[in-house]
Amino acid sequence: MQVKTHPKTYVPKTDGLWCKLGMSFGFAGTWKIVWKTNARHPVDAQRIIMNRFRLGFGVGLALAGASAYATDLNLAATADDAFTAFVSTSANSVGGSFASGNSWSTTFTGSTTLTPGVTNYLHIDAFDVAGAPSMFIAELGLSDADFWFDNNTQSALTGDAAWTASTVGFGGTATTIDNLGANGSSPWGSRSGISSSASFIWTPGTVADHRYFTLRINTSSVPEPASLAVIGFGAAILLRRRKSSKA
């Protein structure tokens, strides 16, 4: 284990995680405490930051923004004939769109930042414009381990068992999903930029109907960065009170 010797570096004896605190000065005399840590999980980050306070580093904590916790969802997809991708914090509501495409021979990409601390849902509205055949195919990735798909990894493909589908709407009555073959199979051939293990999928029903595909994205429930900052300020006030009551 590499032991950091920087005086402002907190080194727990057990797991090698460290946290560095410093000050950042802004306009009109404003300032904030900024921090850097090798902890990959927010719970670990919170623990070592709180340890700093217990060590007597009694100042207010203002996190340098929610970016430290941001997890991005990346999508590469196409449909015969068109799709729009949304991300939502509800299985039943559509959420905000972040990617779309309307030409099956082109792979469309998009990325969006997930809402931390809650389950997110990827919703796909796929629809046929020009008649049979019809399909949707996609490869998904998550930028870090704060979120995971039902297969407990940061990667997902169409054809995975975790997808649900409806012809009514998101969260509507579920329907079966037809697996039309792996990427590369006829009539669409190999769609570039999408894993060869991804499958072309659709559902039974009238061709012209919209298909509503959903994939759940899981996370552990953790305090939001804003709550962490409040906890930090609370700890600082407690430390000040203890000091002044001793004096």
Residue 24 CA to its chain's centroid (Å): 28
Instruction: Please give the angle made by the CA atoms of 119, 213 and 123, to the nearest 5 degrees.
Output: 45
What is the residue-wise DSSP string for 88-123? ESSSSS--EEEEEE--TTS-EEEEEEPPTTS-EEEE
Q: Which is nearer to Ca ion, 130 or 238 (CB)?
A: 130
Nearest to Ca ion of 125, 128 (CB atom): 128
- x/- mask, Ca ion, residues 171-200, rule CB under 5 A, reads ------------------------------
Is 19 in contact with 39 (CB distance < 8 Å)? yes
Residue (75 or 126) nearer to Ca ion, CB: 126
Q: Which stretch binds Ca ion (CB under 5 A): 68-76, 117-125, 130-138, 223-231?
A: 130-138
CA atoms within 13 A on the CB side of 120: 22
Would you count residue 81 as binding Ca ion (CB under 5 A)? Answer: yes
Residue from the set 63, 120, 128, 160 that interacts with Ca ion by CB under 5 A: 128
Radius of gyration (C-alpha) of the chain in whole angstroms:
24
Binding region for Ca ion (CB under 5 A) out of 53-61, 66-74, 90-98, 124-132: 124-132
Residues that bind Ca ion (CB under 5 A): 80-81, 128, 130, 134
